[in-house]
Structure 1
Amino acid sequence: MKANQILGEIKALANPEIAKHSQGFFKTGDGQYGEGDIFLGIRVPVLRKVTQ
Protein backbone atom coordinates (compact mmCIF):
# COMPACT_ATOMS: atom_id res chain seq x y z
CA MET A 1 0.00 0.00 0.00
CA LYS A 2 1.30 3.44 -0.89
CA ALA A 3 1.45 6.44 1.42
CA ASN A 4 -1.19 8.39 -0.50
CA GLN A 5 -3.58 5.43 -0.22
CA ILE A 6 -3.05 5.29 3.54
CA LEU A 7 -3.61 9.05 3.85
CA GLY A 8 -6.83 8.72 1.87
CA GLU A 9 -8.08 5.99 4.19
CA ILE A 10 -7.15 8.01 7.26
CA LYS A 11 -8.90 11.14 5.99
CA ALA A 12 -12.01 9.07 5.21
CA LEU A 13 -12.18 8.09 8.90
CA ALA A 14 -12.12 11.71 10.11
CA ASN A 15 -14.80 12.64 12.63
CA PRO A 16 -15.29 16.41 12.94
CA GLU A 17 -17.21 16.07 16.22
CA ILE A 18 -14.36 14.20 17.93
CA ALA A 19 -11.83 16.57 16.37
CA LYS A 20 -13.62 19.60 17.81
CA HIS A 21 -13.63 18.06 21.28
CA SER A 22 -9.93 17.19 21.02
CA GLN A 23 -9.03 20.70 19.90
CA GLY A 24 -10.61 22.08 23.06
CA PHE A 25 -8.92 19.53 25.29
CA PHE A 26 -5.47 20.12 23.80
CA LYS A 27 -5.94 23.91 23.75
CA THR A 28 -5.34 24.68 20.08
CA GLY A 29 -6.67 28.25 20.19
CA ASP A 30 -4.67 31.39 19.48
CA GLY A 31 -1.84 31.80 21.98
CA GLN A 32 -2.42 28.41 23.61
CA TYR A 33 0.22 25.70 23.79
CA GLY A 34 -1.40 23.59 21.06
CA GLU A 35 -1.92 26.47 18.64
CA GLY A 36 -1.78 25.26 15.05
CA ASP A 37 -2.24 21.57 15.85
CA ILE A 38 -4.70 19.83 13.53
CA PHE A 39 -6.98 17.02 14.67
CA LEU A 40 -8.89 14.63 12.43
CA GLY A 41 -10.89 13.07 15.23
CA ILE A 42 -9.84 9.46 14.76
CA ARG A 43 -9.65 7.24 17.83
CA VAL A 44 -6.45 5.20 18.25
CA PRO A 45 -8.03 1.72 17.89
CA VAL A 46 -9.56 2.75 14.56
CA LEU A 47 -6.27 4.22 13.35
CA ARG A 48 -4.38 1.05 14.31
CA LYS A 49 -6.63 -1.03 12.05
CA VAL A 50 -5.63 1.10 9.06
CA THR A 51 -1.92 0.95 9.82
CA GLN A 52 -1.65 -2.80 10.27
Structure 2
Amino acid sequence: MFGRYAEFIVSSYAATALVIVLLIAWVVIDYRRQKARLRDLEARGATRRSGRSATDLS
Protein backbone atom coordinates (compact mmCIF):
# COMPACT_ATOMS: atom_id res chain seq x y z
CA MET A 1 0.00 0.00 0.00
CA PHE A 2 2.72 2.55 0.97
CA GLY A 3 5.44 0.94 -1.06
CA ARG A 4 8.97 0.61 0.18
CA TYR A 5 8.54 3.44 2.69
CA ALA A 6 5.71 1.75 4.58
CA GLU A 7 7.77 1.17 7.73
CA PHE A 8 8.81 4.84 7.88
CA ILE A 9 5.30 6.14 7.21
CA VAL A 10 3.61 3.88 9.74
CA SER A 11 6.21 4.60 12.43
CA SER A 12 5.90 8.35 11.78
CA TYR A 13 2.13 8.23 12.17
CA ALA A 14 2.48 6.09 15.30
CA ALA A 15 4.99 8.50 16.84
CA THR A 16 2.77 11.47 16.01
CA ALA A 17 -0.28 9.77 17.51
CA LEU A 18 1.69 8.95 20.66
CA VAL A 19 2.83 12.56 21.06
CA ILE A 20 -0.73 13.84 20.61
CA VAL A 21 -2.09 11.36 23.18
CA LEU A 22 0.63 12.35 25.65
CA LEU A 23 -0.11 16.06 25.15
CA ILE A 24 -3.83 15.51 25.69
CA ALA A 25 -3.13 13.50 28.84
CA TRP A 26 -0.78 16.22 30.10
CA VAL A 27 -3.41 18.92 29.55
CA VAL A 28 -6.12 16.88 31.31
CA ILE A 29 -3.87 16.11 34.29
CA ASP A 30 -2.74 19.74 34.56
CA TYR A 31 -6.35 20.96 34.34
CA ARG A 32 -7.35 18.70 37.22
CA ARG A 33 -4.36 19.84 39.30
CA GLN A 34 -5.15 23.51 38.67
CA LYS A 35 -8.82 23.02 39.58
CA ALA A 36 -7.79 21.28 42.81
CA ARG A 37 -5.37 24.09 43.56
CA LEU A 38 -8.09 26.69 42.97
CA ARG A 39 -10.47 24.83 45.29
CA ASP A 40 -7.76 24.74 47.95
CA LEU A 41 -7.07 28.46 47.63
CA GLU A 42 -10.78 29.31 47.74
CA ALA A 43 -11.19 27.10 50.81
CA ARG A 44 -8.48 29.17 52.49
CA GLY A 45 -10.36 32.38 51.70
CA ALA A 46 -8.61 33.60 48.59
CA THR A 47 -10.91 35.26 46.08
CA ARG A 48 -10.65 35.67 42.34
CA ARG A 49 -10.13 39.15 40.94
CA SER A 50 -12.62 38.39 38.19
CA GLY A 51 -15.23 37.66 40.85
CA ARG A 52 -15.28 41.27 42.07
CA SER A 53 -17.58 43.89 40.62
CA ALA A 54 -16.47 47.32 39.45
CA THR A 55 -17.84 48.97 42.59
CA ASP A 56 -15.63 46.77 44.76
CA LEU A 57 -12.49 48.21 43.18
CA SER A 58 -12.81 51.71 44.64
TM-score, scaled to structure 1: 0.31
- Select the structure with the greater relative contact order (CA < 8 A; seq sep ≥ 6): 1
Greater Rg by CA: 2
